[in-house]
């Protein structure tokens, strides 16, 4: 098996690392405090090609493969997991979904703007009563001939207020169950579309999360993605790739915390020597390094599967399940290695520990990943 990273992939990894160090690091503590992410930074990410990494250049994208995307996500997440989720939603849920399943007109109208970072998008599946149980959509899209009338509430939507374009799943034919669900492109400016208050979160506080309300929003039929009733399949297929993005985010958070902990352990002295020379601390670092290496292989394998036309539902779910656990374990140990300083904001690791938790919850909780994995392994 060839695990080598190409010259081009190394360049992308370096570009993401440089961007994280020069543009993201200085304001990350402030964004965690204020829960605000400046649009100028999002625009810069767009200019550098990080918002449409896998999109065909003819629609303004970077035309790269998933492995490069995973490498960039890892580097950004080492420094700022909030920037990473903004990037992940736009790349793998919104742009990828539109490029794969959208019409040419939809791509020309929306994809180019999204891929270049002129604006960003949001993916709206979750509802107050439909999180893990995603088929139980209560939002309705009534078929009115040449348009739909959209009513309902979405919960927990990343990029909720900063997005301009929203991919919204809604039920058109409840009697058909999940085969009655449609995916609609909704613009922020559409009448009857309302953004709820920002959630005050534990982690990824730089990323805005909102509920959204739709009150008789008129959505033209040409804004439906795919055939009538394709909405749930659209969401599942899109999420299967999205989970590779979140697995990369988890890997990056873990690796970022580990790097800080290793540096600290080589500097901080107790009992006359660096704490890295106390075996208890050295073994923690050994465990962290081992877990991160294992997670990295799973993440790259899932990305490689996607790039090579293999099934990636299973490898993506495995990567997300494992990498998110590693993110939790590693960040907790990074705080421990920092002692009292680990509990203080300017050392970053307490934020990383708070950020890590979300990777076990969104884009399918760890329990949902186990459902996906167990169904897949038991099928064969
Ligand atoms: N690709 C294509 N189709 C798929 C699929 C996939 N990966 N997974 C399921 N489906 C299809 C099934 O084939 C089935 O279709 P048919 O009836 O035509 O065969 C249909 O979807 C329903 O599947 P199930 O019967 O398996 O449905 P279920 O009710 O048992 O639930 C589930 C399946 C995997 C648990 C699903 O509900 C799920 O993924 N839940 C989690 C939701 C989630 O991940 N939400 C994330 C929101 S976005 C987000 O969180 C973004 C962010 O944080 C930044
Ligand atoms: P529930 O489904 O109520 O689950 C509660 C608990 O029960 C969990 O531990 C779960 O694993 C467990 N559970 C549920 N069903 C089962 C089962 N069958 N077997 C075993 N255990 C089970 N959604 C979007 O659509 N778009 C977004 O952009 C988005 N961004 C988000 C950002 C943040 C910060 C957060 C917190 C959430 C976001 N979500 C988004 C929603 C997220 O995907 C859901 O929170 C998640 O899917 C879980 O749904 P729930 O919160 O309703 O929990």
What ipTM was estimated for this complex?
A: 0.99
Q: Which of 90, 186, 361 to mutate to test the pocket of ligand 2 (most atoms within 8 A of CB)?
A: 361
The ligand with the least distance to the CA atom of 92 is 1
Average pLDDT of the chain to the nearest whole number: 97
Residue 239 CA to ligand 1 center (angstroms) comes to 8
Could you give the angle at which helices 349-358 and 313-337 cross, rounded to 10 degrees?
A: 150
Position 292 pLDDT exceeds 90: yes
Token reading at 199: 């959630």
Residue 331 pLDDT: 98
**Letter string b/e over residues 286-301, b meaning 16 or more CB atoms within 10 A of that residue's CB:** eebeebbeebbebbbb
Query: CA-CA distance, 18 to 306, in Å (whole number)?
Result: 26
Residue 365 CA to ligand 2 center (angstroms) comes to 6
Token reading at 144: 């009115």
Residue 294 pLDDT: 98
Q: Which of 100, 129, 134, 357 to mutate to test the pocket of ligand 1 (most atoms within 8 A of CB)?
A: 134
Residue 27 pLDDT: 97
CA nearest ligand 2 atom 27, residue: 157
| Ligand 1 site, residue 368, Cβ cutoff 6 A | yes
Q: Which of 132, 138, 184, 253 to mutate to test the pocket of ligand 2 (most atoms within 8 A of CB)?
A: 132
CA nearest ligand 2 atom 15, residue: 132
Residue 125 pLDDT: 98
Q: For residue 162, give every residue at least 6 positions away whose Cβ sits within 8 Å of its Cβ, in sequence order, or none.
A: 37, 39, 42, 86, 120, 208
Query: Of 191, 293, 363, 367, which is the active-site residue?
Result: 363
242 touches 92 (CB < 8 A): yes
Residue 365 CA to ligand 1 center (angstroms) comes to 12
| H-state helical runs in 89-197 | 96-101, 104-106, 112-116
| Ligand 1 site, residue 132, Cβ cutoff 6 A | yes
Confidence of residue 380 (pLDDT cuts 50, 70, 90): confident
Query: CA-CA distance, 157 to 151, in Å (whole number)?
Result: 16
Residue 377 pLDDT: 96
Provide the 10 A C-beta neighbour count for residue 183: 27
The ligand with the least distance to the CA atom of 162 is 2
Which of 273, 249, 271, 275 is closest to 263 using CA atoms? Answer: 275
pLDDT tens digit sequence for 150-160: 999 999 999 99
82 touches 207 (CB < 8 A): yes
129 touches 136 (CB < 8 A): yes
355 touches 82 (CB < 8 A): yes
Query: If 0-12 CB within 10 Å is exposed, 13-18 middle and 19+ buried, where does residue 17 land?
Result: middle
The ligand with the least distance to the CA atom of 360 is 2
Confidence of residue 262 (pLDDT cuts 50, 70, 90): very high
pLDDT tens digit sequence for 154-183: 999 999 999 999 999 999 999 999 999 999
Position 29 pLDDT exceeds 80: yes
State the closest ligand 2 atom to the C-alpha of 363, by its place in the atom list counted from 1: 43
Token reading at 119: 């604006």
State the closest ligand 1 atom to the C-alpha of 243, by its place in the atom list counted from 1: 44
Global pTM value: 0.98
pLDDT tens digit sequence for 76-131: 999 999 999 999 999 999 999 999 999 999 999 999 999 999 999 999 999 999 99
Rg of the chain in Å (alpha carbons): 21
CA nearest ligand 2 atom 52, residue: 131
Q: What Å distances lie between residue 357 and 142, 204, 238, 253, 362, CA to CA?
A: 37, 9, 22, 10, 9
Position 1 pLDDT exceeds 80: no
| Ligand 1 site, residue 89, Cβ cutoff 6 A | yes
Position 3 pLDDT exceeds 90: no
State the closest ligand 2 atom to the C-alpha of 364, by its place in the atom list counted from 1: 47
CA nearest ligand 1 atom 8, residue: 236
Which of 91, 96, 78 is closest to 25 using CA atoms? Answer: 78
Torsion angle in degrees (nearest 10) through CA of 246, 107, 36, 168: -70
Instruction: Based on the residue annotation, tell me whether 363 is a catalytic residue of this protein.
Output: yes
Which of 31, 88, 372, 96 is closest to 249 using CA atoms? Answer: 88
Residue 175 pLDDT: 97
pLDDT tens digit sequence for 187-246: 999 999 999 999 999 999 999 999 999 999 999 999 999 999 999 999 999 999 999 999
Could you list the beta-strand ranges (E) of 77-136.
121-124
């Amino acid at each position: 098996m060839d695990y080598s990273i190409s010259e081009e992939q190394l360049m992308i990894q370096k570009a993401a690392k440089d961007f994280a160090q020069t543009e993201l690091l200085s304001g990350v503590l402030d964004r965690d405090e204020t829960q605000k992410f400046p649009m100028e930074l999002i625009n810069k990410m767009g200019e550098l090609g990080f918002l449409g990494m896998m999109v065909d250049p003819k629609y303004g994208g970077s035309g790269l493969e998933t492995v490069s995307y995973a490498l960039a996500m890892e580097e950004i997440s080492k420094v700022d997991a909030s920037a990473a989720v903004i990037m992940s939603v736009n790349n793998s849920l919104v742009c990828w979904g539109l490029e794969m399943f959208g019409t040419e007109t939809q791509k020309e109208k929306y994809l180019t703007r999204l891929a270049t970072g002129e604006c960003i998008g949001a993916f709206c599946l979750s509802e107050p009563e439909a999180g893990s149980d995603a088929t139980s959509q209560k939002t309705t899209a009534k078929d009115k001939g040449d348009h739909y009338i959209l009513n309902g509430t979405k919960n927990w939507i990343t990029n909720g207020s900063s997005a301009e374009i929203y991919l919204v799943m809604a039920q058109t034919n409840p009697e058909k169950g999940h085969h009655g669900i449609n995916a609609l492109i909704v613009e922020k400016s559409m009448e009857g579309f309302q953004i709820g208050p920002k959630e005050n979160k534990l982690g990824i506080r730089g990323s805005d999360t909102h509920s959204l309300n739709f009150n008789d929003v008129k959505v033209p039929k040409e804004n439906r993605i795919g055939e009538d009733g394709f909405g749930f399949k659209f969401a599942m297929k899109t999420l299967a790739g999205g989970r590779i993005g979140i697995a990369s985010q988890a890997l990056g958070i873990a690796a970022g915390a580990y790097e800080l902990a290793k540096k600290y352990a080589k500097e901080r002295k107790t009992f006359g020597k660096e704490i890295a020379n106390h075996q208890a601390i050295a073994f923690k670092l050994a465990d962290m390094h081992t877990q991160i290496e294992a997670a990295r292989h799973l993440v790259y394998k899932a990305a490689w599967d996607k790039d090579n036309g293999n099934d990636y539902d299973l490898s993506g779910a495995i990567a997300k399940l494992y990498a998110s656990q590693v993110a939790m374990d590693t960040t907790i140990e990074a705080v421990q290695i920092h002692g009292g300083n680990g509990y203080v904001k300017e050392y970053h690791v307490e934020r990383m520990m708070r950020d890590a938790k979300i990777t076990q919850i969104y884009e399918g909780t760890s329990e949902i990943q186990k459902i996906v994995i167990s169904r897949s392994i038991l099928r064969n």
